[in-house]
Structure 1
Amino acid sequence: MKEFESQLEDSWKANAEAWTNSIRLKEIESRKVSTDHAVLNEIISLQPNKVLDVGCGEGWLARALSEQGIEVVGFDGSEELVEKASAAGGGIFHYLNYSDFGRNPLQIGHDFDVAVCNFSLFSEEITSLLQSLTSILSPNGIIIIHTLHPYSIAQDGRYESGWREETFSNMGEGYKAKMPWFYRTMGAWLNELKMAGIELRDCKEPIHPVSGKPLSLLLKTTPKNNPRSADA
């Protein structure tokens, strides 16, 4: 597992330039036709004042949210991507991997109305990250998880959790490294929420406008025991 985790982190460093171009030139069809709008609309509907972008990449989501007057803080384990996000503006960005964040979540701030993981949970071990996020939410804060839809990915292999490989085909040019990532079934995602102590409040499944096939899974969750909850 450690080998895959290391390769995963290294891939984002090697592919920072290519990924930035793919996002900014809108070369990924699923994001262009459905998933980008889905997560953006979900966040805006919650009317947050302050959002944490977990695994912010080159910062497109922060820029889109800032245009709506929302304060955004982002962090990412790729220094190259954080530099590109900072240069483009739209928020405050930190070079920080998930392990370092987990050791001291407050280092990037607190009182976030929404913490969003937008296609950024590719590791096998994500429970501790989700638990850390609950500690920096505002009262009644929300954690949004947006990820690849388990059913659509299952068409290319067995429907069981495990490590897969992303080659970035049909996403643009210039990719230098393949990316290992951990695939989860629907049941595995629900178990992750339970282990992290967060509850599912809403589930959406953005689809391709032409094929009608599911493209992503959008989970809106809240901590079971948020000590700062206004309802506590």
Structure 2
Amino acid sequence: MKDYEFSDKKILQSWHENAKEWVKVIDRAAIPSRELITNQAIIDAILARSPTSVLDVGCGEGWLARVLAAKGIEVWGIDAVPELIAEARSRSEGRQQFMTASYEDLDTGALPQKFDLVVCNFSLIGETATKTFFQKARALLNPGGHLLVQTLHPLVSCGEQSYIDSWRPGSWAGIDGNFKEAAPWYFRTTSSWVQLFIQNGLALVSLKEPLNPATGKPASLILYGELTQHFTAPRTG
């Protein structure tokens, strides 16, 4: 098997290289599971919370932000890949704002407000970056606000490998596009995802598993966390 660099840095490098091709794939609706299941699943999950403001973390070319803005929601989208943010801005209309920002940048106060809901739609794929984001999530939310995360379902995405948190090589299998090397990703078990919420002061209030009607297996995992009133960060070191 080819040697991969397993790191958050490699993830960003790959997305810089593949951003333009990714936009083409999204425009062609060339990812069947998204069109059939997961796009509508995350839209429904967001609308069920009736937010007036949403932060889309890892917004890509902005398709979700545009859908939500069309329903009268104020939406900010952030992504660490400038090429994707440029595309999102070129397509934006009305109640949308986009900015290039990494998870580390969320400390700088660059965002002018807090939000009723923060959504991460298949955008938490790194190791340290994901932990960093969860540590900052509380500060992004209004009182009673929610964090929604849609991710690959651990049961299905684990494959034949051991069911433990670990780096995995990426793949563009099943996606028709002229891509360069795929980004690696960090596999997390269901319990590991749950702990990220609990350890960072977000009460896990719901967990959904949208099913693929063709296979009968879960197409994704959607976790809902709610901002708790009182939280003491765990000691480190």
* RMSD of aligned alpha carbons: 1.6
Decide which of 181, 187, 190 is 2:191's aligned counterpart. Answer: 187
Identity of aligned residues (%): 34
The TM-score normalised by the length of structure 1 is 0.92
Decide which of 94, 98, 108 is 2:103's aligned counterpart. Answer: 98
| 2:110 aligned counterpart, secondary structure | helix
Which string of whole-angstrom CA distances, capped at 9 and with x for unpartnered residues, describes residues 178-215 of structure 1?
21110001111112222222110000001101211011
Map 1:78-93 to 2 at 5 A. 78-90=81-93, 91-93=96-98
For residue 116 of structure 1, what is the aligned residue in structure 2? 119
Say whether 1:17 aligns with 2:45: no
Q: Which runs of 5+ in 2 are unaligned?
A: 232-237
The Cα shift of 1:111 comes to 2.8
For residue 216 of structure 2, what is the aligned residue in structure 1? 212
Say whether 1:68 aligns with 2:55: no
Residues 199, 221 of structure 1: 8 Å contact kept? yes
For residue 135 of structure 1, what is the aligned residue in structure 2? 139
Q: Which runs of 5+ in 1 are unaligned?
A: 228-232
Residues 198, 222 of structure 1: 8 Å contact kept? yes
Q: Which deviates further from its counterpart, 31-40 or 135-144?
A: 135-144
Residues 35, 216 of structure 1: 8 Å contact kept? yes
Query: How many residues are matched?
Result: 224
CA separation in 2, counterparts of 1:174 and 1:165?
A: 18
Which string of whole-angstrom CA distances, capped at 9 and with x for unpartnered residues, describes residues 85-116 of structure 1?
11110411001111122x22x31132311100
CA separation in 1, counterparts of 2:210 and 2:160?
A: 19
| 2:184 aligned counterpart, secondary structure | strand
The TM-score normalised by the length of structure 2 is 0.90
Q: Which deviates further from its counterpart, 72-81 or 217-226?
A: 217-226
